[in-house]
Amino acid sequence: MHLPLEIIEQVIDELRDDIVTLKSTAQTCHALLPLCRKHIFRSIDLTPHSQVPCSYSPLSHLFQHVLNRNPDIGRYVRDLTLTLYVSNFPWHGGLTIPESLDSGICQSLTKLPQLHKLDITGGYSHRYNIHTKWNTIHPDHRQSLLHCIHSSSLTELRITNFEVPITIFRACFNLTILKNLSLRKGFQGEFLYMDQLSQPVNVAVPQLRCLEFQGQFIPKVVASRYSNGYPILRLHKLKTLIAQGDEIEAVQAVSEILREAREVENFTYMVYGSPHGFLGFAGWINRDAFSTLKILKVVCNAIENEDPLRGLSEELEAFPRTNVLDTLDINVAVETDNLFSTGGEWGRLDAVLSGNFVALRRVSIHIVIWIYQERPEIKTLHEELNKLPQTQFPWLSENTAIYFDFSTGVDYVRISPLSSNIFGAEMRVRFRKINGNYHLGEIDFIDLFEFEFGVDKGGVVEIGLYLFFGSVTV
């Protein structure tokens, strides 16, 4: 019995995540090759297994070889992940390893005509506060990257720890999703190519639907204009915004974005080190967006002797009654060496939600206690927090029309004093140095926070590993 090709195609589509089976299927019939290849080569990760530039992943060499033999395969690639590394760390001995891409990889980048998603990750040293920089990459390799970034098919771009010029977006015609993470201190993008900010004739400004950012790069982009006054990115049709507002530039960018965005449906706002908390964000939201905003997620750490919700209740109280908010997700971190309230500030949130939020159907509140050292009051604090649904959230607890998810957790964290100097100020919000003698106790996980390498004058590679040890107790 011969099955119609349409049925076979549906079966192959169901097997899209089973690469081994797809490879076997592709070898059974020439007609099935394109059906299998669109899944086998859809997502390509060319990240090396180590940070030594001469050591590239076997997959990258294999991918180059396959493309050289059959360039047609490049049209099946939709998602591409690349990794670059910092070239100018002040290594011992004063020597650095030049930053580059393998020439074969560069050639591969020009053979992907249907690329939809590009993920570029650079290097970042917490110790020296240095990012991978656009101008340190070989000009030929920059052109290869631009070929991908400016591809007319590209709709999603994710840049992490990679300092690029602001004008890089001028030819991203169809870009709708932009994620820029972890560019913090030392950013110099405002000085890159600013003399070339004249708006090209008949070039459409990218219209974003989703924007996620941390640090200073996106705030610089939002604040910049072409010489004719045009923005570098259009945001009035933005649907999803995920932002961290710890620096004044980031807060200003969030306020400007929300004022422009008239169709926001999903907003995530994170504040850790900012003394202002969530102050003001309700006033930034475009009035039209109150009829579209359905999901609000906030993340913060509680500040000693202050409102643990960092002003969230006041901002929600400013929402008009006509809002359509359906889901509210609140995540609060509590440090055990701070005085923390379990009283009326929480109850005010319950009262506010009972008034102006007729469309609300789901509320999630998660509180995590960060433990840096054993203290007798930790158990008491945990017990008090677990009573909040009964003592402070009666309306949420009893309202059958709303799914109320309340949870607490304990995160037992300890950092070696010898390694504490690698963390910047924003990281010390999350981790603190512990003095004195202590034991790590039971280890539930080990995270690699930083991996650096250098070369001394004798040509010996020096590798530095910075580990985070911790355990979780519920």
CA distance 225 to 214: 21
Q: What is the DSSP string of 315-339?
A: HHHTS-TT----EEEEEEEEETTS-
Strands (E), 265-307: 266-271, 295-301
Cα–Cα separations (whole angstroms), residue 353 to 55, 156, 270, 316, 399: 55, 36, 20, 8, 11
**Strand, helix or coil at 299?**
strand
Residues in the chain: 474
Cα–Cα separations (whole angstroms), residue 35 to 75, 155, 449, 460: 13, 23, 41, 48
CA distance 303 to 273: 9
**Strand, helix or coil at 287?**
helix
Cα–Cα separations (whole angstroms), residue 34 to 44, 59, 185: 17, 21, 47
pLDDT for 339: 59
Nearest to 240 by CA among 181, 178, 319, 188: 178
The answer to whether residues 451 and 427 touch, using CB atoms and an 8 Å cutoff, is no
Q: What is the DSSP string of 146-172?
A: HHHHT-TT--EEEEESEE--GGGGGG-
| Count of other CB atoms within 10 angstroms of residue 271 | 24
- Taking CA 87 as the corner, what is the angle to CA 43 and CA 194, rounded to the nearest 5 degrees? 85
pLDDT for 105: 74
CA distance 157 to 77: 15
Cα–Cα separations (whole angstroms), residue 93 to 85, 129, 358, 419: 19, 19, 65, 22
What is the full per-residue pLDDT of the chain (474 aa) written as tens digits? 476 777 777 777 777 777 777 777 777 777 777 788 888 888 898 876 554 444 455 667 788 888 888 889 999 999 999 887 654 333 333 334 444 455 667 778 889 999 999 999 887 665 555 667 888 787 888 888 999 999 999 999 999 888 888 888 888 889 999 998 765 444 444 444 444 555 555 567 899 999 999 888 888 888 888 877 888 899 999 999 999 988 888 999 999 999 999 999 999 999 987 778 899 999 999 999 999 999 999 999 887 777 889 999 999 999 999 999 999 999 998 876 555 666 788 999 999 999 889 999 999 999 988 876 667 777 788 888 889 999 999 999 999 999 999 999 888 765 444 344 444 333 433 333 333 333 334 444 444 444 444 444 444 444 455 454 444 433
Q: Is the pTM of this model over 0.85?
A: no
Sheet holding 130-133, edge to edge: 124-125, 130-133, 162-163
pLDDT for 180: 82
**Strand, helix or coil at 269?**
strand
